[in-house]
Amino acid sequence: MPRLRLNISMSLDGYVAGPNQSLENPLGEGGEALHEWVVVTRSFRRIHGSEDESGETGADDDVMAESFANLGSSIMGRNMFGGGPGPWAAEPWKGWWGDDPPFHHPVFVLTNHAREPLEMQGGTTFHFVTEGIEAALERARQAAGDGDVGLGGGAEAARQYLRAGLVDDMQIHVAPVLLGGGARLFEDVGDVRSRYEPLGLVSSPAVAHYRYRRVT
């Protein structure tokens, strides 16, 4: 069965987005610093269409490549798709992933508001799921083929899957950033102590990557 793999960047003080998230500032105040280690990697540039040899290699690049490897579908919260509350507009916007999103597979977006699937360039189709996290996971597993299901956030989506005990593997990337507030990851997530086994950590001077596997 496809595994549900959570991959998310977190500040040292435990936040996966800064305070005051908004349409203009989707990562919250200071939140972009969580992802500085990502955008400099060669794998990130490749995923975003670069065909040259630019970008850094090394431990972070290896982790970044692995986090995207062997995924057949993904799940994300509405905040991570495009933010904003309430019903979709008559001509709703297409999220902040651009015309050719980096997923290249079906993406299931958790929302309370139904919407037709949105087919983008490059193989990414956003499906909007209103029936909750278990329905989204079921559909994502069916769509994943031989691959796994990726889960990246936002905080509320990640917390819901953790709380329900549905995350099989997780890799938490702790950046040396203090945000002082925002969206916490490890808050009301159930008994993670007995549920997960640590598989060690690797790090660069920019970020440390902590890996866990579900044992129960």
Binding site for a second copy (CB under 8 A): 12-14, 18, 29-30, 172, 174, 176-181, 185-186, 189-194, 196, 198, 200-203, 205, 207-208, 210-212
> Is 123 within 8 Å of 105 (Cβ atoms)?
yes
Please identify, using beta-carbon distances, which residue of 90 and 215 lies nearer to a second copy: 215
> Is 71 within 8 Å of 105 (Cβ atoms)?
yes
* Residue 189, CA atoms < 13 Å, CB-side half-sphere: 18
Please identify, using beta-carbon distances, which residue of 27 and 120 lies nearer to a second copy: 27
Torsion angle (degrees, nearest 10) of CA 193, 18, 126, 135: 30
Residue 29 CB, nearest distance to a second copy (Å)?
A: 8
Please identify, using beta-carbon distances, which residue of 104 and 211 lies nearer to a second copy: 211
Residue 14 CB, nearest distance to a second copy (Å)?
A: 4
Please identify, using beta-carbon distances, which residue of 86 and 200 lies nearer to a second copy: 200
Which two three-digit tokens encode residue 134?
Answer: 């278990």
- Distance separating alpha carbons of residues 163 and 59, to the nearest angstrom: 30
- Distance separating alpha carbons of residues 196 and 181, to the nearest angstrom: 26
Residue 44 CB, nearest distance to a second copy (Å)?
A: 20
Residue 99 CB, nearest distance to a second copy (Å)?
A: 34
